[in-house]
Amino acid sequence: MAQGEGQIRYHVTSPIEAPNNRWTGVGPERLALTTEETESVARWYAAATALYQLWLDSGEIRRIREGRLLDPNGQVTCDGLKLARTLSARIPTRLWLFRDTDDGAPTHCPICGNELDTDVKWGTGTCATCLIQV
Ligand SMILES: [Zn+2]
């Protein structure tokens, strides 16, 4: 990905992917990330993926775990947002926020509460202020 924007998210094999290459993870070498940035993404991805895998478990604790993923103040979300802000200094990056599709399509940013920009190529909407995509 020479230009464009990056995205960090839970659900794919690589934590970073290009918008025009949606289902194929883009390696950090193509994004020209520094070693520190690559390690930061890898650390965040490991934590986010672990939490997501736990969420996949059924049972009564699922809702509790989902709460951690949906919580805009949750550790994984905060870490992901921090990473998106850091990477955006060089590569426009959004955090793909977790949401349960059973909850319907969101219309407002879960962080700032502003209406989502729904003019997006993928997902439901984006908030340019908060650097999130849903
Ligand atoms: Zn927002």
Domain ranges for the chain = 6-17+24-96
Distance from C-alpha of 126 to C-alpha of 88, rounded to nearest angstrom: 15
Residues pairing with 115 in the sheet: 108
- Output 121 or 61, whichever has higher pLDDT: 121
Mean pLDDT, rounded, of the chain: 73
The pTM (predicted TM-score) of the whole model is 0.63
- Output 100 or 67, whichever has higher pLDDT: 100
State which H helix or E strand residue 81 sits in: helix 75-88
Cα of 133 from ligand 1 centre, angstroms: 9
Cα of 3 from ligand 1 centre, angstroms: 24
pLDDT, tens digit (0-9, with 9 covering 90-100), for 29-45: 667 778 888 888 888 88
User: Token pair 């290459």 is at which residue?
Assistant: 21
Q: Average pLDDT, stretch 64-71? A: 60
State which H helix or E strand residue 8 sits in: strand 6-8
